[in-house]
Structure 1
Amino acid sequence: MEAHERYDWSLTRPSDAVVEVVADQVNGSSTSFGPLYDRIDPDALDAIFRTDGSDRPGDGTRVSFRLAERFVSVHATGEVVVRRPVRDGTDG
């Protein structure tokens, strides 16, 4: 199963969006998987995608990592993609 959600980074912090989408995918709350900071620094993730007008990342910017046995990709366009790995363990 795969989830695609789009956010406005000026209204929602990327770290909050990741927790929300992953929690939806694991049918639980954010406490049903470990803290985000065990995988990635939430403040650093938010700083990469800040939208205050200075140093805005290019639309091709993406950060990917694993959380709760899912692959997570956060995009400068505001998209958060969460998917399960395929059965053979590859990203494919």
Structure 2
Amino acid sequence: MELQTSDGQEAEFEFVGSSTSEAVVQAVAEAAGTDPTELPPLYDQVDPDALEKLFRNPSNGVVAFDYHGYTVVVRSDGTVLLK
């Protein structure tokens, strides 16, 4: 997963090759400087199964939600944006 920062306030991660839920948890953990197992369960904020279904097939979708102090924006182009 590659971190790209745009202005110190946002971080963008590519999640090609991993599940969407795994990518979200990994991106937040990396941005927060912690182990993914130390984060609260993702399902407390969003339904991981629904997230997977939304991005299983290529589409033009975007989902945003708050998780561990970040606004997480998941895009259908394979990126997770943290604000």
The TM-score with structure 1 as length reference comes to 0.75
Cα distance in 2 for partners of 1:16, 1:31 equals 11
1:45 CA drift (Å): 0.2
1:63 aligns with 2:63: yes
Cα distance in 2 for partners of 1:29, 1:38 equals 18
Q: How many residue pairs were aligned? A: 75
User: Partner residue of 1:4?
Assistant: 12
Gapped runs of 5+ residues in structure 1? Answer: 84-92
Identity %: 35
User: Partner residue of 1:42?
Assistant: 48
Give the residue type in structure 2 aligned to 1:74.
V
Larger radius of gyration: 1
Cα distance in 2 for partners of 1:20, 1:33 equals 10
1:6 CA drift (Å): 1.4
1:33 CA drift (Å): 2.5
More helix by share: 2
1:31 CA drift (Å): 3.1
Structure 1: which 4+ aligned runs deviate by more than 3 Å? none
RMSD between aligned residues: 1.2
The TM-score with structure 2 as length reference comes to 0.82
